[in-house]
Amino acid sequence: MKLQELAEEFAQNVAAQTDAIWNGDARKGNRHAKRYIAAFKKLREHRDAGMDALARLFTHPRMDVRVKAAIYLLSEKPEQARPVLEEAAKSEGMIPFEASQALKYWNEGTWRLDLD
């Protein structure tokens, strides 16, 4: 699978998880979370090229996809990820809250993406 296809798989499953959560279907949301985590892990295996493919999602039309990509890349690409999170955090709702929490932990020095 090409890197851009993996990034698109990440995006589609983030969006599907958000939609499932809004529809009250946590089980379905969890299935999509497992899929975007798997896509991220595959992208991570390709090091910089994989992370660059994921970073292209910083301009995705859906805020949830932009924010999730930024959260997953905060440690790898903080100069690019932080502005995405800062912009989202200006709004209200679940996704802006996730963005603000990631920034809070980053600023405190306690940020850690734990996928294992």
Could you tell me the pTM of the whole model?
A: 0.94
In tens, the pLDDT along 30-43 reads: 999 999 999 999 99
Overall average pLDDT of the 10-32 stretch: 97
Which residue matches tokens 């994921």?
A: 54
Question: In this structure, how many other beta carbons lie within 10 angstroms of the beta carbon of residue 83?
Answer: 12
Q: Where are the domains of the chain?
A: 3-108
Amino acid making up residue 56: R
pLDDT at 113 over 90: no
How does DSSP classify residue 109?
Answer: T
Domain 3-108: which CATH class?
mainly alpha
pLDDT digits (tens, 9 = 90+) for 65-112: 999 999 999 999 999 999 999 999 999 999 999 999 999 999 999 999
Closest CA to 9 of 20, 114, 1: 1
